Structure 1
Amino acid sequence: MKRNIVIAVVTAAALVGGGTATALAVAGDDDDTTPVTRTDDDRDDRGEDRSDDRDGDADDGAVRAAAPGGVTAAEAITAALKHTPGTAVSAELDDGSWEIDVLAEGDTWHTVRIAPDSGKVLGAQKDDEDDAAEVRAALKGASVTAEEAAKAAAAKGTVVSVELDDDGDDKGWEAETRASGGDEQDWSVDLKTASVTPDRDDD
Structure 2
Amino acid sequence: MKRNIVIATLTAAALATGGTVAAFAAGDDEATATQRQTNTSAEAATDRDDADDSADDRDDDATEGRRALSDSRVTAAEAIAAALKHTPGTAVSADLDDDGAAAWEVTVVKGDGTEYDVRIAPDSGKVLGAQRDTDDDNDSDDRAELAAVKGAQTDAREAALAAAAKGTVTEVGIDDDNGAVVWTADTVKDGKRSEWKVAPDSGKVTQDRDED
Question: TM-score scaled to structure 1, two decimals?
Answer: 0.65
Is residue 92–residue 146 contact of structure 2 (8 Å, CA) maintained in 1? Answer: no
Work out whether residues 138 and 166 of structure 1, in 8 Å CA contact, stay in contact via their aligned partners in 2.
Answer: no
- The amino acid of 1:134's aligned partner reads A
Q: By percentage of residues, which structure has more helix?
A: 2
> How many residues were matched structurally?
142
The alignment partner of 1:178 has SS state of: strand
CA contact (8 A) 1:172 1:190 kept: yes
Per the normalisation by structure 2, the TM-score is 0.62
Contact 1:63 1:182 survives alignment (8 Å)? no
Closer, same or farther: CA 107–167 of 1 in aligned 2, 3 Å: farther
Q: Does 1:152 align with 2:165?
A: no
Contact 2:145 / 2:181 at 8 angstroms: preserved in 1? Answer: no
Cα deviation 1:107-129 (Å, max 9, x = unaligned) = 00000000011000011100122
Percentage of matched positions with identical amino acids: 55
Equivalent residue number for residue 67 of structure 1: 69
Structure 1 residue 77 and structure 2 residue 80: aligned?
Answer: yes
- Note if 1:114 corresponds to 2:120: yes
1:136 Cα shift?
A: 2.6
Q: Which residue of 1 aligns with 2:181?
A: 171
Asked if 1:188 corresponds to 2:177, the answer is no
Q: CA RMSD in A?
A: 1.9
Q: Whose Rg is larger?
A: 2
Q: Which amino acid aligns with 2:173?
A: E
Structure 2 spans left out of the alignment, 5+ residues: 1-62
Distance 2:201 2:75 in 1: 22
Offset at 1:190?
0.4
2:97 corresponds, among 94, 100, 109, to 94
CA distance in 2, matches of 1:118, 1:75: 10
Q: Is the 8 A contact 1:98 1:115 kept in 2?
A: yes
Match of 2:122, as an amino acid? P
